[in-house]
Chains A and B, each alone.
Chain A
Amino acid sequence: MSEDTKKDSYEEHISGLTPAELAKALQTFCDKIEFGDAAQLNSCLHCGLCADTCHYYLASGELEALPAYKLNLVSAVFKNQHTRLGKITPALTGAKALDADMVSRWVDSLYGRCSLCGRCALNCTLGINISRLIRLARTTLASVNLVPPELQSTVNTAVDKGNNMGIPRQEWLDTLQWLDEELQQEVSDSAAHLPIDQSDTRLFYTVNPREPKFFPLSLLATAKIFYAAEESWTFSSDYYDVTNYGLFSGDDEASGVISARLRDSMHKLRANTLVLGECGHGYNANRWEAPEWLAGAYGFEVKSILEIIADYIRQGRIKLDPSRNQKRVTLHDPCNLVRLGGIIEEQRFILKRAVSDFVEMYPNRAQNFCCGGGGGQLSMTRFSKRRIEAGKIKAEQIRATGAKIVVAPCHNCVDQLSELNKEYKLGVEIKTVSEMVAEALVIEH
């Protein structure tokens, strides 16, 4: 099916929504609201101070991109359902029913003008978790199959094929075999290898499938670090995909299915720690959201590869020579890893020891601007133009640093930054933290 045909049938679905579908969506909306959501949906003052915290609004100036407007779209339906004044005199409080028109606005603004980066939430005067409430609306739409088809297709591929790129098992194993040989050459040790399905290791390492598909050398970089640290680790031959686009589509059920596979692989392999590769949303999904989707605490540690590498440096398990990375380097903070994930200082600790000229971009850390690649935007091709436009803020941040290399510990961000690099002629290289560390690695054994 072509993109245009998909778009048409999707829009036809919205305009032709049946009362039964709308009732089901509304039921989902009401069922998913918990105390905190209800309190926050009652809180917005419409002060508008969130406006310039959003890269979509800053870049486009379009009113439909205002975080307060996006929140209004959700709270309008809440007020219509759950407040007396909203039922009696909806115009007074801006209450509105969930009808085809509202669904259309939800899709346009809540899927099409939001990367769920959480920057508006961090800066909201009252502290309203706007991105969480926007995801609640996405969950509502997902319950009646109204996730934009391109994003839904990514989720479906992950559910059906075991990884979001649909990589066949043999292709994955062949790639690892090839990387095995590359690693042996790289470290001049025929005993070096990439372990697969080894039981009782300390770490079970998961990756973004874009790595084996398009950036295998990024996998090699991490393998080299594990080799240097003499780590006990393994890949899984079946489930290794750290991503979970259900986080972005809003489909909690699919999110649970995808996350359960990594949890079950952990149990099968009897590893101690689930290590999440450099993927922002993969970290948020598996570290923070998956136990909630699966309604149970994990009986094992879940860590980012950045925490592991930082520990190697602290413990003296790896040695780095920063003079091997002479070019000026800046760091992009992926929203799901940093603001929403809490992994803030490890990547800085590592880079300050792996490169000789590190500069911050501003603002940074929890206040970073989203690159525009999150929230499923890279999948939703129908909103690509907006995504590239919204990325202008990040492009300007990068340009101001004068850096030649932008390090992004997230493969979605790497993809978006690569597009921004071309569009805004930044003339930079985009790399992961592992790649920078592998370059600086001093192997002594």
Chain B
Amino acid sequence: MSLILLMRLLVVLSAIYCLIALTVLVARTFSFGKWPRYAKAQGSSAKGIVYAFGQGMLPWEKESASKHLPTFFGGIAYHLGIFAALLIPAAGLLQIHLPDIADSVIRILIVIGLVSGIGLLIKRLTLPYMRFISCIDDYVANVLVELLLLSALLATFHLAWCRVMMIVTIVLLLYIPMGKIRHCVFFFYSRILFGKFFGRRGTLPHPSIQD
């Protein structure tokens, strides 16, 4: 078995491990159980959930975004870059040749994502309040993702970087269920719970003004 084939196999196995570990994590979370809610709803949980994933994601709807627009847009760019970068090892595994235009778009997204990710890391390292709330996991996760973005970008220029990219991908996939990157799953749960809570109580979506 050639080295590149072995690495492809390891990427697949790490991806399978990552999926299984995340599934187990979610199952363990469910095992805590859910108590019934007895208070009569005032608003609508469903409308609250729709708000949480729709209007509630807009920057002017929450101060965490409206007062921090560079971070808000940096975060979006960072995530777009990550999704774009993941297409590179995926295309390699499936042996799909991406058209040049797609290659160019992916490169641009990765570069923007990389710059944003480094910006977020610098913010975490330099602001005292950010350092105060950070743990090692926050830095490890950021650096691992940065390495993926960088190696994927380089791999689009030279095949020799594919091996580095695959090693980084394997490490990242193994790390995801253990550290904060698990929010790729829990983000959805948190937003659903947010929408249900404030929706049921009639706080969100904003009730219409009575004049």
Q: Which residues of A contact B (CB under 8 A)?
A: 33-40, 42-53, 63, 66, 68-69, 72, 82, 84-85, 91-94, 121-129, 132, 287-292, 294-298, 302, 338-342, 344-346, 348-349, 352, 365-367
A52: chain B residues within 8 A (beta carbon): 63, 67
Contact check, A93 vs B186: say whether CB atoms are below 8 A apart. Answer: no
Contact check, B71 vs A35: say whether CB atoms are below 8 A apart. Answer: no
Using known A-B contacts A33-B32, A37-B32, A91-B136, determine if residue A48 contacts B129 with beta carbons closer than 8 Å: yes
Contact check, B43 vs A342: say whether CB atoms are below 8 A apart. Answer: yes
A291 to B211, CA, bound (A): 33
Q: Which residues of B contact A (CB under 8 A)?
A: 25, 28-30, 32-35, 37-40, 42-43, 52, 56, 62-65, 67-68, 71, 75, 124, 127-130, 132-138, 140, 178-180, 182-183, 186-187, 189-191, 193-195, 197-198, 201-204, 206-211
A33 to B32, CA, bound (A): 7
The 24 listed contacts between A and B (C-beta, < 8 Å) are A34-B33, A34-B34, A36-B193, A37-B32, A39-B193, A40-B186, A40-B193, A42-B186, A45-B183, A47-B64, A47-B75, A51-B129, A53-B63, A69-B133, A72-B133, A82-B28, A91-B135, A94-B135, A126-B194, A127-B52, A298-B39, A342-B201, A342-B203, A366-B198
Contact check, A126 vs B183: say whether CB atoms are below 8 A apart. Answer: yes
A129 to B194, CA, bound (A): 7
Q: Which one, A50, A132, A292, contacts B37 given CB within 8 A?
A: A292
Contact check, A288 vs B201: say whether CB atoms are below 8 A apart. Answer: yes
Question: Which label, helix, strand, loop or mixed, suits the secondary structure of the B interface?
Answer: helix
A35: chain B residues within 8 A (beta carbon): 29-30, 32-34
Using known A-B contacts A40-B190, A127-B194, determine if residue A46 contacts B138 with beta carbons closer than 8 Å: yes
Within the complex, the shortest CB–CB distance from B104 to chain A, in Å, comes to 31
Contact check, B32 vs A34: say whether CB atoms are below 8 A apart. Answer: yes
Within the complex, the shortest CB–CB distance from A131 to chain B, in Å, comes to 11
A429 to B132, CA, bound (A): 41
Within the complex, the shortest CB–CB distance from A40 to chain B, in Å, comes to 6
Contact check, A123 vs B209: say whether CB atoms are below 8 A apart. Answer: no
Q: Which one, A92, A287, A365, contacts B135 given CB within 8 A?
A: A92
B193: chain A residues within 8 A (beta carbon): 36, 39-40, 127, 129
A304 to B68, CA, bound (A): 36
Using known A-B contacts A48-B129, A66-B132, A348-B210, determine if residue A84 contacts B178 with beta carbons closer than 8 Å: yes
Using known A-B contacts A42-B182, A69-B132, A342-B202, determine if residue A127 contacts B37 with beta carbons closer than 8 Å: no
Contact check, A345 vs B135: say whether CB atoms are below 8 A apart. Answer: no
Closest to A363 in B: B63
Within the complex, the shortest CB–CB distance from B139 to chain A, in Å, comes to 10
A346: chain B residues within 8 A (beta carbon): 210
Contact check, B63 vs A123: say whether CB atoms are below 8 A apart. Answer: yes
Within the complex, the shortest CB–CB distance from A281 to chain B, in Å, comes to 14
Closest to A53 in B: B63
A227 to B63, CA, bound (A): 44
For the A-B complex with A122-B198, A124-B64 known, give 7 more contacts whose Cβ atoms are closer than 8 Å: A34-B34, A35-B29, A36-B193, A94-B135, A297-B39, A298-B40, A339-B203
A34 to B195, CA, bound (A): 17
Within the complex, the shortest CB–CB distance from A88 to chain B, in Å, comes to 9
Contact check, B210 vs A345: say whether CB atoms are below 8 A apart. Answer: yes
Closest to B187 in A: A126
A77 to B40, CA, bound (A): 33
Contact check, A92 vs B137: say whether CB atoms are below 8 A apart. Answer: yes
Q: Which one, A34, A92, A127, A290, contacts B35 given CB within 8 A?
A: A34
